[in-house]
Amino acid sequence: MNKKRITIKDIANVLNISPAAVSKAMHDDSRISAKTKEAVRRVAKELNYQPNHLASALRKGKSNLVGVIVPRTNSNFFSSVIENMEAVLNKAGYNIIITQSNESFDKECKNIDTLLYTQVDGIIASMANETVDLSYYEKIKSKGIPLILFDRGENDLNVDYVGINDYDSSHIIVEHLVEKGCKRIAHIGGYRRTRIFNNRIRGYVDALKKNKLPIDDSLIIESSLTLEDGRREMERLLNLENKPDAVYVASDYAALGALQVLNENKIKVPNEIRLVGFGNEPFTSLVSPSITSIAQHSKEIGRLAAETFLERIAQPELKQSLNKIILDAQLIVRDSSN
């Protein structure tokens, strides 16, 4: 059976006072006696009254809620970003609503609609792999709601952004592999339509050119970067007549899949093929061999994204002054490439 939602009016009827008096008591209005306030709190508890935050947000024009959209929550990077983001926002009096797109454009659109309906004060997001149409993000902007993108975002939106230098990351990885004597470096990357993965591919290609290494299209692969993608694409690379001597994978999960295939095929890592991942997930130091990876500074990204939102809320008039915070990449060298 559906239970009737308890309202302020129900509390007022029990106490035989006006709904306005109940509301004032709940907001600790000095014009309401301590005795009445105590009675209101007692009856509210007995009736299991739950405040209607949506209605309150509509009245006040402020919900103290921030919507967060991530591609997935089962990644250490995104969970760490959320944890550090929440710590800053909670301290400032905000709570967060977490949604995940599972890399789906349709689900991302539904998440945005839900957050807008909930009257959030801002949205902090990392885009899904499938997202190409930016109209839903434009909808957020058109409503005057602060939008901060992190890790993945599009320059066309002209909004605040926090992330690492993906282009330089690829240079650092290729330089490291070249120093180790590698001459045929493959790249299992994300889709070029996503800015960060396009930047990683561009950085990889330019770094090869800088080191006078040939560009071989058969060694440049676009994928969703799941563990299964890493397995499948590593198997494909091993079937090439001229195999790579190193593989740079733009995600640790796909790198783990690639490592599984290399181990299953009795290929010695790093002696025969060196391997580098991206993201510095906790498992990269636990597998054998441990995986060299790029640290994405998740703690700093979470903190800076939250602080950027708070700055935007505090000074909404500074719309032309956008924050573009790009952190330097850091290579964590482990056994798989060393």
Residues 198-254 pLDDT 10s: 999 999 999 999 999 999 999 999 999 999 999 999 999 999 999 999 999 999 999
Q: Which residue has the tokens 């930047």?
A: 199
Domains of the chain and any CATH numbers: 8-51 (no CATH), 63-164+298-327 (3.40.50.2300), 166-295 (3.40.50.2300)
173 pLDDT band (50/70/90 cuts)? very high
Is pTM beyond 0.85? Reply is no
pLDDT in tens, 135-161: 999 999 999 899 999 998 766 788 999
Q: Sign of the CA dihedral 228, 232, 235, 237?
A: negative
What is the layout of strands, in order, in the sheet containing 324-327? 95-100, 65-70, 122-125, 147-150, 160-164, 324-327
